[in-house]
Structure 1
Amino acid sequence: MFTVENLYSTWGSVSLAEAVTYVCVATALYFSIVFSYRLTFHPLAKFPGPFFARISDWPLVIHCYRGDRHLWEYKNHQKYGSIVRYGPNSLSISTLSSIPLIHGAKANVKKGAWYKTLDISAGAPSVQMEIDKHEHAMRRRFLAPAFSERALKEAERLISISARKLCQGLTLGIEDGRWSEPKNFNDWATFFGFDFVSDLGYGKSFAMLDSDENRWIPGVLKSASVFLYYVGYLPFVDFVRPLMGTWVQDYIGGQAAADSLKYTNLANRRLAERTELEKQRKTEDKDTGRKDTFHYLLNSKDPVTGKMFTTEQLQADSGLIIAAGSDGVAVTLAACMFYLLNNPHTLEKVTAEIRDSFASVEEIGNPKLGSLPYLHACLEETLRMNPPKPSSLPREVLKGGLLIDGHLIPKGVNVGSPLYVIHHDPEVFPDPWAFRPERWISSLSTGVTPEDVSAAKSACAPFLIGPMNCIGKNMSYIALKLALAHLLLNNDFRSSGDVTGGGNGYAADELRRREGEYQMTDWILGFRDGPMLQNRVRKVGK
């Protein structure tokens, strides 16, 4: 008869070698069963994809760590079609019809579990990482006044100050009529992005365009971005999350993990300073007339419950505002300058449009700035070529499933829209690797029809769509147009030798060889280098 004593007796007689053998056999049997299920009986078994990605999330983790996930997704869709299984429980869908179904207002999805990791050190999710749809909607409503029409008009004035400082930094020390020494424009685009976002967010700029005191921040953010990106997809991430924000994070994650905590501490300090300033203003009954983003967040209150944001929620939003706002503008500005330098006829055309519209920097502004069609087309084409977040973001299907292209996707599956893939679909964007702003303007001379433009707009979603899209979209367009208008009105530009920032013809990955494509590394934020350029001051009215 079987008894506990017999079990102990049996195991007591087993040697160490035999015990190890049993454990190995049991482990191999377990994974054989799991992998066989995922390949045969799993609800997603019918969808094609890379073999190892169909049985494990490790291929995804590796490509997130390497920063080439968007290229991996592109190759997968080229090989397997419009629906690719890139993880045991994940689908990447590149059809245009899927975008509103996954990201639209009525989409039967919520944000995936990956979002739980990004703000774990703050103790609460930021508004952009909030998974609960009702909570997210409420927090968006509280943040909306900071991006209202009135707020955008005030922001335009403040962003113009940073745009002028950007020009001053680039022209410092240049003799009249002489070309400058070569500069890495990406650095200056990054300084501009961080400066205007911190000014609008906290009422106090990082002043990177003025001095090098805070220029360490982008590097730390880059390192933190690498760490958080791949960790969020680890198969055992549920065991890792409780350790994040503690000393264990530094120990297991190395410098990238340490930089993640350093960035969190920076955001928390900025928030603490801004909170104290708000208290002083209330005590002194002092109204500066200027309301930055955190003025609205610190004074928001739920009309039903009377609750205000917790400290942890505000800390998470602080980290989000610095990172997301600055990076999206910086990468697009640097990429746009790369494409203009790489396409001299386009640079000449957009420069002429700006100089014909404004006689001096004092005139630069809306509504005229927003009505320049070719400038807007250059930005649209840049965002098509290089969306700030080029790979798919996970959306978890809710109860009832999701019907996409005739396939019923069951509850619990992660789906996503691979923007880099969609934006380079030749069916919608003929000659997709060419930088061609004309595709955004209907014209008899170019053969671009209104229907072509409409199709392009439907397929291009760099800020995503629906209730969870980027709330700072309009602010970003204003900042980009102000920066480019100031730069091109005040300066002539040329590349310093070969236009850097593009692909390398000798790169191991064939998708990194396109010299006419601005190269990005996909680590939540889009990191890049170049272009190297020279500028010459052009005398205009002040």
Structure 2
Amino acid sequence: MVLSSSGQSYLLKMVPQESKEIRGWLTSIPLANSTMFLGFILAYSVGRVIYNLYFHPLARFPGPLLWRSSRLAYVIRMNQGKLAFDVLELYKKYGPVVRIAPNELAFSDADAWKDIYGHRVGATHGAEEMDKFHTFYRTKGEVLSISSGDREYHARLRRQLAYGFSERALREQETMIGGYITLLIKRLRENCVDRERFDPVTGQPAKKEVDMKMWYNWTTFDVIGDLVFGEAFGSLERQKEDPWVEAINGSIRFLGIINGVKHMGLESLFMWLVKLTNVNRAEHDRRMMDKLHRRVSMEKGRPDLIEGLLQKREEWGLSMHHLQANSSSVLIAGSETTSSMLSGVTYLLLTNRDAYERVVREVRTSFNSDDEITLTSVSRLTYMLACLNEALRSYPPVPFGMPRFVPKGGANVSGEFIPEDTVVAVWHWATYHNPKHWTEPFSYKPERFLGDPKYANDRFDVLQPFSMGPRNCIGRHLAYAEMRLVLAQILWNFDMEIVEKSKSWSDHLSYVLWDKPPLYVHLTPRN
């Protein structure tokens, strides 16, 4: 057999590094014409499919034929925005452990959460933690961040960032956060009616269709902008989306493309093209660096989210690109996901009027004015917390599974021995809608979190929207604080009704994060 030089190079990229015998054999083959090269490609591909189906270490785990034979089906469905929903159907058909790619397993139970993501305590003390799956989290040529770094790198950064996300720090920033929420309420009052048109029935100014998704987005980005950079994006002030916020939202669909290229092993060949066409990412990087330079020039000791990193910048040799990568992670995690949650709980409440009326009653009987709505006082709103928790189950801000890599020697997950180098994850949306775990999984029932006996058999321990263990979401306290304050103020100040064209709002796609359409609502201000 003979190969062309380009064919030989291509095949070496396709064959895993650990397959030393195959790589050695390829390098020994004489070089020749492209016809034989194509023939070898075909033979290799067929052989790879047969190996994946019958001889792979994961061959004993169930899953669809096409998904077990190649990563292609996974990539296609991810780029169609359907993958997170497909996994639920696979759980129903094959059980709590499903092979969704040649080297990847999807789990759906509480033990899997602890085994994959949890701290190594008790019987597992001293065992190696599962590292993040680098293909998913890292991109060649980009510096590491708290999101993509290994265990030691992450732990070091997290210690420095921890104070900025603590409850104490949030209380120090409550006035600033409250200022943006007050501005949100003011802008909504200004924009919820059309003073030039009148309702023919009531004779009052006609109601406008208010896109709550947009207003929530502006609010969370303004808050996180101030917390990270010391200055807001100005969307609420100008009542206009900042080009940077628009660029970040526009990048969501590229998440599927970027991950697809990496999963198929084509990163070296095509990532340059993906980056070239992703103009939103280029705008994001440029604006991020501009804001970061201004933040670095501010006084030291500012109680924000990246002050801890700035204190260690010289000691650790952190370049501006390292600061940029970490600021970007904090920015997106602290804005996009909170905005999704607020949009989700608003939609779910307005399409479940019993829950809406009950939470409105709770808010309006707990305070005498909206000035009394604070971080401390909202903690008394038990039904509203149940509404938020049920929304996290029904509409988790990250519907995908966050993949981990089984370390050398393998590991036990949910009572199954999983060989090393396997990718494993618990898939959020699919697990939270699995009828084996939840009574009426597609119904929005906050009562399930208040001890209603009808839901006594629900598996609340599988609900981990902020993940768990040493790499759980560092911004959990911030997210809950912001969601409670915003939702309480909205429910206090306005009566709400969903617009007809948004009643099917939840029927949208997910490219790792949700690709949310506008959420149109009618607001009636309370005097």
- TM-score scaled by structure 2? 0.85
CA–CA separation in structure 2 for the residues paired with 1:236 and 1:475: 33
User: Which of 339, 344, 356 lines up with 2:353 in the alignment?
Assistant: 344
Aligned to 1:144: 162
Q: Does 1:128 align with 2:137?
A: no
Aligned to 1:205: 232
Verify the 8 A CA contact 1:520 1:526 in the aligned structure 2: yes
CA–CA separation in structure 2 for the residues paired with 1:527 and 1:452: 33
Q: How does 1:240-251 map to 2 (within 5 A)?
A: 240=267, 249=272, 251=273
Aligned to 1:92: 106
Aligned to 1:513: none
Q: After superposition, what is the alpha-carbon deviation per residue over 1:155-201, rounded to whole angstroms, capped at 9, x for unaligned?
A: 32222111112111211054697562111211111111111111111
CA–CA separation in structure 2 for the residues paired with 1:170 and 1:532: 13
- In structure 2, relative to structure 1, the CA distance for the partners of 1:21 and 1:241 (3 Å cut) is closer
2:306 alignment partner, SS class: helix
Q: How does 1:17-416 map to 2 (within 5 A)?
A: 19-106=33-120, 108-118=129-139, 120=140, 123-130=142-149, 132-173=150-191, 174=193, 180-212=207-239, 214-234=241-261, 240=267, 249=272, 251-252=273-274, 255=277, 257-277=278-298, 281=299, 290-300=302-312, 306-416=315-425
CA–CA separation in structure 1 for the residues paired with 2:447 and 2:379: 17
Aligned to 1:447: 453
1:124 alignment partner, SS class: coil
CA–CA separation in structure 1 for the residues paired with 2:57 and 2:344: 41
Verify the 8 A CA contact 2:138 2:148 in the aligned structure 1: no
**For the aligned residues, what is the CA RMSD?**
2.4
Verify the 8 A CA contact 2:137 2:147 in the aligned structure 1: no
Q: Does 1:525 align with 2:513?
A: yes
Verify the 8 A CA contact 1:324 1:525 in the aligned structure 2: no
Amino acid at match of 1:271: L
- In structure 2, relative to structure 1, the CA distance for the partners of 1:165 and 1:156 (3 Å cut) is same
Amino acid at match of 1:294: I
Q: After superposition, what is the alpha-carbon deviation per residue over 1:343-387, rounded to whole angstroms, capped at 9, x for unaligned?
A: 111111101111111111211113221121100000001110111
Amino acid at match of 2:254: F
2:335 alignment partner, SS class: helix
Shift of 1:260: 1.6
Aligned to 1:535: 523
1:167 alignment partner, SS class: helix
Shift of 1:436: 0.4
Q: After superposition, what is the alpha-carbon deviation per residue over 1:222-274, rounded to whole angstroms, capped at 9, x for unaligned?
A: 33233244323436766525975xxxx3x45564x222222122212211111
Aligned to 2:467: 464
Which region of structure 1 is more displaced relative to structure 2, 388-397 or 154-163? 154-163
- In structure 2, relative to structure 1, the CA distance for the partners of 1:242 and 1:463 (3 Å cut) is farther
1:291 alignment partner, SS class: coil
CA–CA separation in structure 2 for the residues paired with 1:77 and 1:452: 19
CA–CA separation in structure 2 for the residues paired with 1:129 and 1:471: 14
Amino acid at match of 2:232: S
Aligned to 1:11: none
Shift of 1:310: 3.0
Shift of 1:329: 0.7
**Unpaired segments ≥5 residues, structure 1:** 1-17, 503-517
CA–CA separation in structure 2 for the residues paired with 1:237 and 1:262: 27
2:179 alignment partner, SS class: helix
Shift of 1:335: 0.8
Amino acid at match of 1:273: R
CA–CA separation in structure 1 for the residues paired with 2:313 and 2:283: 30
Shift of 1:395: 0.2
CA–CA separation in structure 2 for the residues paired with 1:90 and 1:196: 37
- In structure 2, relative to structure 1, the CA distance for the partners of 1:241 and 1:311 (3 Å cut) is farther
Q: After superposition, what is the alpha-carbon deviation per residue over 1:322-345, rounded to whole angstroms, capped at 9, x for unaligned?
A: 211111110110111101110111
2:453 alignment partner, SS class: coil
CA–CA separation in structure 1 for the residues paired with 2:190 and 2:485: 20
- In structure 2, relative to structure 1, the CA distance for the partners of 1:462 and 1:116 (3 Å cut) is closer
- TM-score scaled by structure 1? 0.83
User: Which of 500, 520, 525 lines up with 1:497 in the alignment?
Assistant: 500
Verify the 8 A CA contact 2:112 2:414 in the aligned structure 1: yes
- In structure 2, relative to structure 1, the CA distance for the partners of 1:475 and 1:177 (3 Å cut) is farther
- In structure 2, relative to structure 1, the CA distance for the partners of 1:55 and 1:473 (3 Å cut) is same
- In structure 2, relative to structure 1, the CA distance for the partners of 1:536 and 1:116 (3 Å cut) is closer
- In structure 2, relative to structure 1, the CA distance for the partners of 1:239 and 1:475 (3 Å cut) is same
Amino acid at match of 1:327: E
Amino acid at match of 2:470: P
Aligned to 2:24: none
Aligned to 1:488: 491
- In structure 2, relative to structure 1, the CA distance for the partners of 1:52 and 1:67 (3 Å cut) is same
Shift of 1:23: 2.8
Corresponding pairs, count = 480
CA–CA separation in structure 2 for the residues paired with 1:92 and 1:66: 19
Verify the 8 A CA contact 1:179 1:535 in the aligned structure 2: no
CA–CA separation in structure 1 for the residues paired with 2:454 and 2:462: 16
CA–CA separation in structure 2 for the residues paired with 1:350 and 1:224: 35
Shift of 1:21: 4.1
Q: After superposition, what is the alpha-carbon deviation per residue over 1:403-446, rounded to whole angstroms, capped at 9, x for unaligned?
A: 1233211111100101111111223320000000000001xxx4
Q: After superposition, what is the alpha-carbon deviation per residue over 1:101-159, rounded to whole angstroms, capped at 9, x for unaligned?
A: 111012731100224435x56x31221221x1111111100000101222010232222
Shift of 1:527: 2.1
Amino acid at match of 1:323: I
Aligned to 2:22: none
2:58 alignment partner, SS class: coil
**Unpaired segments ≥5 residues, structure 2:** 1-31, 121-127, 196-202
Amino acid at match of 1:385: S
1:493 alignment partner, SS class: strand
CA–CA separation in structure 2 for the residues paired with 1:520 and 1:127: 29
Q: After superposition, what is the alpha-carbon deviation per residue over 1:33-52, rounded to whole angstroms, capped at 9, x for unaligned?
A: 21111111110011111222
Q: How does 1:503-518 map to 2 (within 5 A)?
A: 518=506
